[in-house]
Structure 1
Amino acid sequence: MRDARSFDDFYRSTSARTLRYGHAVVGDPGEAQDLVQEAYARAWRQWGRTPPAPGPRSTRTAAAVEAIRRWWN
Structure 2
Amino acid sequence: MGDEPEEFAEFYQASRDGCLRAVYASVGDRLLAEDLIAEAYARAWASWWKVSRHPAPQAWVVRTALNTHVSWWRRRRREVSWESRGSQDTAPTAPDATMGVDEQVLAAVRSLPARQREVVALRVFLDLDTQTTARTLAIAPGTVTAHLSRAIATLRDQLAVSVEEETRSR
With normalisation by structure 1, the TM-score equals 0.87
List runs of 5+ in structure 2 lacking aligned partners.
Answer: 76-170
1:67 paired residue number: 69
Provide the alpha-carbon RMSD of the alignment: 2.1
Runs of 4+ with deviation above 6 angstroms: none
| TM-score, L = length of structure 2 | 0.40
Is the contact made by 2:44 and 2:51 (CA closer than 8 Å) also made in structure 1? no
Contact 2:24 2:33 (8 Å CA) reproduced:
yes
Could you say which structure has the larger radius of gyration? 2
Match of 1:6 in 2: 7
Q: How many Å separate the matches in 1 of 2:25 and 2:50?
A: 30
**Higher RCO (C-alpha under 8 Å, 6+ residues apart):** 1
Identity across the alignment (%): 32
Greater mean deviation of Cα atoms: 45-54 or 10-19 = 45-54
Q: Give the letter for the 1:42 counterpart.
A: R
1:18 and 1:52 mapped to 2: Cα distance?
A: 18
Return 5+ residue gaps in structure 1 as ranges: none
**Number of aligned positions between the proteins:** 73
